[in-house]
Structure 1
């Protein structure tokens, strides 16, 4: 795994191999991440990255958030409660030298505390597939003030999703077993 573009371009991230099924770690492949960020940068959704405050729910390795930071986001909040994931996120933040631009919340993404700062403009949501956890986490993030009006939400899943009230599905694209859904908070 590596950062695809931006100021950390080419930076190798901590290795996980093919993933950790026991810890539900399934990193987004470099190719899928590159396709996703090309889609975001394509102009159809404005410029959702530059200067964005990013919320990375079920952060796993932190690769999505760090890719956004590399491409111009201003701050990333990573949320995960897995011991292995938290070690990898910390390692990857250190590899990028991004400690001052990041925050880690060790918590189940479905149980976010109230947000004590500015809401996030870009949200990555990559829950364990087919367990309905994404709907719960997104509902909680909205209720606790983590998501700004008009925020763009990138939700990775293996099947169709049911966006919660207050969120509109804009686009869905399949990459192998992964479906990337782009949504907008209203």
Structure 2
């Protein structure tokens, strides 16, 4: 996830040298470091949250078409590719972060496209369908409703949608989406939904407590 602005970004920019890093934690690129630059609002999903998420997603990853809409470091989209997804699209408005993402994609020879663009404008012009979407926008900008609205025509039948939000402010998702799993940390609620169109309904059973990650 990264900060966002409504101005259209320059076409290209030099890559940012990270002041920290986050690791891909599973699959063929396990242990690979990705730069985490010092950017306001940049908040990569923690290792524990990603470990939980990708345990949930294991059956859905092989061959999946993935969209990481507010990509930031790209760790969610690249983790999905590392674990068997077919291809990914990473959308990041900040041109420096997008350049860093392109360097990572080239270094890994990943089947991924990087777009330096405003996420909402990009999804409005997109005509592809996705099997898995990561939606982790900047919390301060309140973009969930607009992003979810833009995503609806871009979801394949039975697509999975992962959403991060503040713990005390879960976004309103379409009523037709089935909640598969959810968890919380002190600051973040993370939830995996399934869109309509799958032949079997898989939801969180009433006796399954939500995951908690400190």
Q: TM-score range by the shorter chain?
A: 0.7 to 0.9
SS of residue in 1 equivalent to 2:34: coil
The structure-2 alpha-carbon separation of the partners of 1:170 and 1:38, relative to structure 1 and needing over 3 Å to count, comes to: closer
Please say if residues 130 and 157 of structure 1, whose CA atoms lie closer than 8 Å, have aligned partners that are also in contact. no
Map residues 84-123 of structure 1 onto 2, 5 A cutoff: 84-98=96-110, 101-111=111-121, 112-117=123-128, 119-123=129-133
| 2:144 alignment partner, SS class | helix
| C-alpha distance in 2 between matches for 1:64 and 1:135 | 21
* Residue aligning to 1:170: 180
Given candidates 11, 18, 31, the residue that maps to 1:10 is 31
C-alpha distance after superposition, 1:29-52 (max 9, x if no partner): 2222122112222xxxxx111110
Residue 147 of structure 2 corresponds to which residue in structure 1? 137
Listed as ranges, the gaps of 5+ residues in structure 1 are 42-46
1:32 aligns with 2:45: no
Residue equivalent to 1:44: none
Q: Deviations over 1:80-138 (max 9, x none)?
A: 2112321232232133221xx11122222222244344x11011001011533022112
Q: How many residues align?
A: 172
TM-score calculated relative to the size of structure 2: 0.73
**Contact residue 64 and residue 87 of structure 2 kept, 8 A:** yes
Identify the residue that residue 81 of structure 2 maps to in structure 1. Answer: 69
Larger Rg: 2
Q: Which runs of 5+ in 2 are unaligned?
A: 1-21, 197-214
Does structure 2 retain, via aligned residues, the 8 Å contact 1:55–1:78? yes
- Structure 2: distance between partners of 1:27 and 1:87: 17
Q: Following the alignment from structure 1 to structure 2, what is the Cα–Cα distance between the partners of residues 78 and 3?
A: 16
Aligned to 2:162: 154
